[in-house]
Structure 1
């Protein structure tokens, strides 16, 4: 899997040469290589000031390595600028150290498996603090790379006794390194993707006259296929909530396209355009992508006139919207229209309703449905949940707590719309 650098140094290594070689580690890297490597570390969110915390996923791997190889130390090391930090370490507890003081600086420079049988006899390593002060003699490190081959970390084991590592052990080390690489790079990419996805949600709730609109999106994984969006212009609140078949990265990519397509219709929707027509345009925009991905999308869209409470909506296969009236009655908003992406010639119909002062509306994805006790006549349970909370923020907090308690297996997304009554003004 990796090329190997396995050396036995001469016994009389000049001390001055050791220091000169260590200080040159970073300078020896071509400027373009180091710049790309550092950008890769930054882009994956692996910079030390951000990620100076341990992760159980990484600790499981380093613990296993220390046990399998009977090693004194094991670690995952990330070089960030002139310093090194350790997402996981066994046998020592040093949060940061100068880059030039690490074995892994040389492994990063060589970009290949590096095995040092006795560091005290190797001019590249004999002067390191771990060798001089801590008595480390053996080192084996495997570079961890991103998808473009940039070295973003090193997986390594150390021992206080000189030793060698036979071929079978090297294979095991490389297997563990591949696992660590998958966790380090993959989890960081997903973390970044999750951050980007959250940034695409509305920046703040809507407070307009007697209206309060807020939403929540809880992916089952780091990213998910649910989406919601809302905005108010020209006295009209435009809301969209979609659910892409599946979850994870693939669904999130499709969801980003759905959100963009729905948002592109916003000027027409707030201008009074028929929601059936705008939904048709969204569907035609997405059809080829959905066909290639063998996916489909359920979508609920509505436009609310804040002056008189007139409600226009389209339900493309969702069927998960309730209105709780001031008298406590619960009404479902639904239609017989199919999800987007099922048939290429499908059309959608705009329906109308009204939200009076004191009415509350909740539209949500089927991830919430999975958490309810009654999934057949679920609207009664949802209605009670809505009626029990005076503000959208407390209702959405209750949704979050429900998803946490029940351990949601699917994305959970909800948008709450409250119109204040006369007595609440």
Structure 2
């Protein structure tokens, strides 16, 4: 029964999903494409219902209205009962004969299933419509119910995904001010969220600077990257080799369960001297640009987390950023910006040298990544000002 309380609760949940005004999402478009083909109907929709309006997430034709009064819709009936609602001839059914869809659009067949969230609250519908009356068999109803369950999972996944996206975006490092130095970076996910993470923190006498790349893409890699970032932050007061050694056992356990590994460049800058102490666990995509125009690629000497032999200590490295020097650290997706070889890292360094500013350089990276990359792309820059 569609009561005032249920309509209010439904409206609140639909608002929490925050997808009503978003562009059509492929996860829903795919479902309605399959529904149209499977049942050989003209139209199929994924709709959300609030207290007064029906909102379609999948308009079928250009310019189609994406919202309308709930009382004008067929799907108001679907929300009132748990199973499928099937109307073989809408013009012959007194519940629908006077609806605008029958008179103005010529809709003569309707079938829909409610979409429910936890608590069995119907917040929407997956429906089929056609311009000719037709029968709908029990097998058809069962198939429509299965598609409805798929749609519910897509809604729930979208809710979890949006929350994850908020968390991942919140993990982006905030701008910091270190006298005599510039820190900046950009991460361009191949999908919606990235398995790369870059980070920096500033203490009184040191700057911790990190870039990690989790094998894989999307949500699992993003979650592992977020966990690794948090673990390293907990040990920000340690030297890099000690910090990585401290997080390695638990991190490798998590990575092993996910059949993944992580390359990590974790460093600590002493601003007064320019000395950078670091651990490179399988990363190897570090370019030291010298003020005199030369450059050196710093390669890794250890295996990634998740592959590093148990009990074998990580090796520490160090370099000095002289005035005018810059350190570029990139994920392997950045190699897609060039020919895919390590020489691309040198080309990225030349692009930075030619750029009018670090911000302009990172915007170039973003544009190239969006056009060419087939993996997450992260590039971070640590530069020492010239005297």
TM-score calculated relative to the size of structure 2: 0.86
Per-residue CA distance 1:205-240 (angstroms, 9 max, x = gap): 334323221111122222232111112221432111
Name the structure 1 match of 2:83.
112
Q: Structure 1 pair 158/297, CA: closer, same or farther in 2 (3 Å)?
A: same
Name the structure 1 match of 2:376.
411
Say whether 1:381 aligns with 2:351.
Answer: no
Per-residue CA distance 1:139-174 (angstroms, 9 max, x = gap): 101233458865443221223444322345445545
Name the structure 2 match of 1:244.
214
Name the structure 1 match of 2:279.
314
Q: Structure 1 pair 289/362, CA: closer, same or farther in 2 (3 Å)?
A: same
- How much does 1:298 deviate? 1.3
Say whether 1:274 aligns with 2:239.
Answer: yes
Per-residue CA distance 1:225-271 (angstroms, 9 max, x = gap): 211111222143211111112222222221111011011122x1xxx
Relative to structure 2, which stretch is displaced further, 358-367 or 86-95? 86-95
Alignment partner of 1:208: what SS?
A: coil
Q: Which of 155, 165, 168 is residue 197 of structure 1 equivalent to? A: 168
For the residues of structure 1 that align with 2:225 and 2:148, how far apart are their CA atoms? 33
- How much does 1:177 deviate? 4.4
Counting only pairs closer than 5 Å after superposition, residues 71-82 of structure 1 correspond to structure 2 as: 71-82=41-52
Name the structure 2 match of 1:96.
67
Say whether 1:54 aligns with 2:27.
Answer: no
For the residues of structure 1 that align with 2:256 and 2:129, how far apart are their CA atoms? 52
- How much does 1:124 deviate? 4.2
Per-residue CA distance 1:352-400 (angstroms, 9 max, x = gap): 2211221111111111124431515444323323322242222222222
Per-residue CA distance 1:320-356 (angstroms, 9 max, x = gap): 1111111111122344122222233232233222112
Name the structure 1 match of 2:178.
208
For the residues of structure 2 that align with 1:96 and 1:239, how far apart are their CA atoms? 48
Q: RMSD of aligned C-alpha atoms? A: 3.0
- How much does 1:419 deviate? 2.1
Q: Which of 260, 267, 274 is residue 230 of structure 2 equivalent to? A: 260
- How much does 1:40 deviate? 4.8
Whether the 8 Å CA contact 2:337–2:344 is kept in 1: the answer is no
Alignment partner of 2:65: what SS?
A: coil
Say whether 1:356 aligns with 2:322.
Answer: yes
Q: Which of 34, 45, 53 is residue 18 of structure 2 equivalent to? A: 45
Q: Structure 1 pair 39/282, CA: closer, same or farther in 2 (3 Å)?
A: farther
- How much does 1:82 deviate? 2.8
Q: Structure 1 pair 420/26, CA: closer, same or farther in 2 (3 Å)?
A: farther
Say whether 1:222 aligns with 2:192.
Answer: yes
Q: Which of 111, 115, 129 is residue 140 of structure 1 equivalent to? A: 111
- How much does 1:194 deviate? 2.6
Whether the 8 Å CA contact 1:226–1:255 is kept in 2: the answer is yes
Instruction: Note the residue ranges of structure 2 that are not aligned, 5 or more in a row.
Output: none
Name the structure 2 match of 1:10.
none
Q: Which of 305, 330, 339 is residue 295 of structure 2 equivalent to? A: 330
For the residues of structure 2 that align with 1:304 and 1:83, how far apart are their CA atoms? 57
Q: Which of 92, 100, 112 is residue 129 of structure 1 equivalent to? A: 100
Per-residue CA distance 1:8-31 (angstroms, 9 max, x = gap): xxxxxxxxxxxxxxxx734274x8
Whether the 8 Å CA contact 2:264–2:305 is kept in 1: the answer is yes
Q: Structure 1 pair 241/38, CA: closer, same or farther in 2 (3 Å)?
A: farther
Name the structure 2 match of 1:13.
none
Whether the 8 Å CA contact 1:40–1:152 is kept in 2: the answer is yes
Q: Structure 1 pair 64/376, CA: closer, same or farther in 2 (3 Å)?
A: closer
Q: Which of 372, 381, 385 is residue 338 of structure 2 equivalent to? A: 372
Alignment partner of 2:381: what SS?
A: strand
Relative to structure 2, which stretch is displaced further, 308-317 or 179-188? 179-188
For the residues of structure 1 that align with 2:223 and 2:182, how far apart are their CA atoms? 29
Relative to structure 2, which stretch is displaced further, 124-133 or 319-328? 124-133
Alignment partner of 1:54: what SS?
A: coil
Instruction: Note the residue ranges of structure 1 that are not aligned, 5 or more in a row.
Output: 1-23
Number of residue equivalences: 385
For the residues of structure 2 that align with 1:121 and 1:373, how far apart are their CA atoms? 65
Alignment partner of 1:367: what SS?
A: helix
For the residues of structure 2 that align with 1:247 and 1:73, how far apart are their CA atoms? 34
Name the structure 1 match of 2:266.
301
Name the structure 1 match of 2:127.
156
Alignment partner of 2:79: what SS?
A: helix
